[in-house]
Amino acid sequence: MYNRNMIAYSTPPMIEPSVTFLGAAQSVTGSMHLVEIGSQRLLLDCGLFRGRREEVRQRNTHFPFDPATLDAVILSHAHIDHCGNLPNLVRQGFRGPIYCTPATRDLAALMLADTGRIHEEEADSQVTSGDADRTIDHCVPIPYEQELALSGDVQLRFLDAGHILGSAITVLTFHHAGRTHRLTFTGDLGRRGVPFLRPPTPVPAADLILCECTYGGRRHDTLETMAAKMSKVVRGTLERGGKVLIPAFSLGRTQLVLHFLQRWMRDGVLPRLPIYVDSPLAADIAAVYQRYGDAFEHLPAAGLPPVHYFRSPEEAREVSLLPEPCILVASGGMCDGGRIMPHLRLHIDDPRCSIVLVSYQAPHSLGAQLLQLRPTVRFHGRNWNKWAEVVSISGFSGHADHEDFLALLGPALGETGKICLVHGEPPQAEALATDLRKMGFADVTVPRREEHVKVA
Ligand SMILES: [Zn+2]
């Protein structure tokens, strides 16, 4: 199966170990990198690309290699931009194992089933829920810190990346030309100082480190600032007799927000209000988080207020129409769809209510429109008066910020060959690259898509 977009990977007998960057290179979507070590061909992540419609179709359905020739996939975590295109890979002939942590397998099953449903609703997509199920059958769960020998003298080890439940740093060790070599892929790295999941493991030194840089050059709110901002908006809304709407992505963000809402209510930082979650996917994810209790730095303790999950939209609407104040977390982090939409329609023009944005808002999203100083917003074909209070709290990010990167990479200084920054827009990547060079890392680059880099 050859097409003109396919990169010709001829395999001479003594091929140099290398990485080819195939997605999330100078961008944040569709994470995918091809690692070649001897005769082994390993794919790091197989994320769904999102962007302009035509490019989406082209990038997601045409792999620049034959999926049948891959020996294995190594999956860093269950976010769709890292695992979402696996069903296409399987559909197009991939037959090998997908190595991931046990929690990532369980979460990927939920995430892929959910996107499978979305794909089926789009007439032009061929991916089905059946493809998602078959993909999960390929998963081979490997716990953190366990060494696994892959074929071709390659050792694989996962370390806790602290980004979402199950997220992993991948460490590959192998021999080439009489030396031991190491390749480290951070996947997405979590924050330090926001105790919920365990903190990210410092990135191990390697001949080549592939490091994400989503928030290079940026600094997130501290936990104290987050608590102060949330307290102000929740107390103000309660005094006015309104509702607090929190749009949040179902995997990662929702669990983090709920954890701190509960904790702050218990500790008196926030007034006690009913907490509702309108996202069937988040309800399923909550059950998986519960099963892996030992992944958490602070187990939910006694005295936490309850959280009620809605599965049916009707039940959610009923509560949304009640006059009592409450906190309503709903799916759709950027307000461009999801279960937040009916609540926005009901409350956007209610000056008693507030909308708390806890995610990055892409430039053309409704969330970004909400943040602009304009009296109206446009969605669902009409203009709406924007009379609800809109507040943004950046600290709920699941990603490392600039200081986190410097701290997590610091220990690798002196024993690391080169660092390639991936999963970040060029300004963020350059900001991080500049400070890593200042720290003493001699070789830091920001590879383009389809760029080919030798490991050693
Ligand atoms: Zn992620």
CA distance 70 to 64: 12
What is the reported pLDDT for 1? 39
**Hunting for tokens 């953190």 — which residue is that?**
144
What is the CA(183)–ligand 1 centre distance, in A? 20
**In this structure, what are the phi and psi dihedrals at residue 86, rounded to the nearest 5 degrees?**
-60, -40
pLDDT at 14: 56
The Å distance, Cα 339 to ligand 1 centre, comes to 21
Find, among 189, 147, 56, 150, the residue nearest to 158 by Cα.
147
Instruction: Count CB-CB contacts under 10 A for residue 136.
Output: 18
The helix or strand, by DSSP H or E, that contains position 287, with its residue range, turns out to be: helix 280-291
Ligand 1 mean position, distance from CA 325 (Å): 32
Return d(Cα 329, Cα 308) in angstroms, integer. 10
174-217 pLDDT, tens digit per residue, is 999 899 999 999 999 999 998 899 999 999 999 999 999 999 99
**Ligand 1 centroid from CA 67, angstroms:** 23
**Interval between CA 238 and ligand 1 midpoint (Å):** 33
- Give me the phi and psi of 176, to 5 degrees please: -155, 135
Q: What is the pLDDT of residues 229-283, one digit of tens each?
A: 999 999 999 999 999 999 999 999 999 999 999 999 999 999 999 999 999 999 9
SS3 of residue 44 by DSSP: strand
**Structure confidence by residue, pLDDT tens digits, 301-329:** 678 999 999 999 999 999 999 999 999 99
Distance between CA atoms of 232 and 392, rounded to whole angstroms? Answer: 12
pTM across the whole model: 0.93
Going from the Cα of 272 to the center of ligand 1, the distance in angstroms, rounded, reads 31
Bridge partners for 321 per DSSP? none
Q: What spacing in Å lies between the alpha carbon of 317 and ligand 1's midpoint? A: 30
pLDDT at 452 over 80: yes
379 CA distance to ligand 1 middle (Å): 28
Ligand 1 mean position to 81 CA, how many Å?
A: 7
Quote the ligand 1 centre to 187 CA distance (angstroms): 8
Q: Tokens 């179709």 label which residue?
A: 57
Tokens of 383: 């203009």
Name residue 212's beta-bridge partners. Answer: 422
pLDDT band for position 296 (cuts 50, 70, 90)? confident
Question: Ligand 1 centroid to 211 CA: how many Å?
Answer: 13
Question: Which domains are assigned to the chain?
Answer: 18-218+398-454 (3.60.15.10), 223-396 (3.40.50.10890)
Tokens matching residue 245: 């709407």
Average pLDDT over residues 66-70: 97
Cα 261 from Cα 249, distance rounded (Å):
16
| Gap from CA of 189 to ligand 1 centroid (Å) | 8
Distance (angstroms) between ligand 1 centre and the Cα of 114 equals 16
pLDDT of residue 4 exceeding 60: no
Does residue 453 register a pLDDT over 80? yes
Phi, psi of 363 (to 5 degrees): -50, -40
d(CA 166, CA 107): 8
Report the pLDDT averaged over residues 21-30. Answer: 90
Q: Which of 184, 180, 174, 182 is nearest to 153 (CA)?
A: 174
Q: Which two tokens stand for residue 74?
A: 């190594």
Instruction: Output the CA–CA distances (angstroms, integers) from residue 35 to 218, 373, 453, in the order listed.
Output: 30, 47, 10
Q: Minimal CA–CA distance to 250: which of 219, 217, 280? A: 280
Q: 209: buried, middle or exposed (CB in 10 Å: 19+, 13-18, 0-12)? A: buried
CA of 6 to the centre of ligand 1 (A): 27
* Residue 300 confidence (pLDDT): 60
Q: Is the pLDDT of residue 67 over 50?
A: yes
**What distance in angstroms lies between residue 153's CA and the mean position of ligand 1's atoms?**
29
Tens of pLDDT, residue by residue over 211-229, are 999 999 999 999 999 999 9
- pLDDT score at 298: 64
| 398 CA to centre of ligand 1 in angstroms | 8
Q: What is the DSSP letter of 52?
A: S
Asked if 248 and 329 count as a contact pair (C-beta separation under 8 A), the reply is yes
Q: Is the Cα torsion angle 278, 280, 285, 287 positive or negative in sign?
A: positive
What sign has the CA pseudo-torsion 43, 191, 164, 319? Answer: negative
Residue 69 three-state SS: helix
